[in-house]
Structure 1
Amino acid sequence: MDKQLEILNELSRILHFSTEIKYDSAHLEYKFNPEEQWNSFSVWYEKNQQNYSPNDFDKISNKAQELCKKLHNEMQSHTGGDWRKFILTIDETGQAKTQFIYEIQSCMDQFRV
């Protein structure tokens, strides 16, 4: 459990310090499907109902994706949980919230009505 919290804290730091704007909320989303052999990673900030990208997406992307993979592996080895989508949200007060979705993700999901 300590390792999981350590990874979540590191992801929160990356998300928080990857922008200079004082955001209303910050979002990190990682999803993957090993059978289809893909993953997706996105980060964005909301301020006054507008979305902003991080200062240097490429710089944080590789590190954050590796941490997301480690988090998945750590959680699966300790609880057996095999989540496929992870969302981290930080509000303007710095309060972090996590969401783990266990349904299989597909690259075709965006085209379904």
Structure 2
Amino acid sequence: MEEQLRILNELSRILHFSTEIAYNSAHLVYKFNPDEQWYSFSAWYEKNHQNYSPNNFDKISNEAQELCKELHNEMQAHTGGDWRKFVLTLNEKGEAKTQFIYDIQSCMDEFKDD
């Protein structure tokens, strides 16, 4: 549990310090499907109903994806949790909220109508 908390804190730190914007909320989403051999990563900030990208997206993307993979492996090893989508949201104070989705993910999810 200590290692999971360390990884979550590091992801929160990366997200929080990858912009100069005083955001209303910050978002990080990592999802993957090992059977189809793909993954997806996104991060953005919201301020006054507008979205902004992080500074140096490639750097944050590479570092955060490795941490997300570590988090998945750590959680699966210790709790058996095999989530396929992870959402990290920070509020304007930098307080974190996490969500783990265990449903199988499709690379077409973003293009489906609700």
Regarding TM over 0.5, the answer is: yes
Secondary structure of the structure 1 residue equivalent to 2:90 = strand
CA distance in 1 between counterparts of 2:96 and 2:109 reads: 27
Taking only aligned residues, the RMSD between alpha carbons, in angstroms, comes to: 0.7
* Counterpart residue identity of residue 15, structure 2: L
Q: Deviations over 1:53-76 (max 9, x none)?
A: 001100111110000000000000
* Equivalence for 1:21: 21
The answer to whether the aligner puts 1:9 opposite 2:18 as a matched pair is: no
Shift of 1:109: 2.1
TM-score (structure 1 length as normaliser): 0.97
What is the aligned length? 113
TM-score (structure 2 length as normaliser): 0.96
Unpaired runs of 5+ residues, structure 1, are none
* Equivalence for 1:74: 74
* Equivalence for 1:47: 47
* Equivalence for 2:105: 105
Unpaired runs of 5+ residues, structure 2, are none
Secondary structure of the structure 2 residue equivalent to 1:83 = coil
Shift of 1:108: 2.2
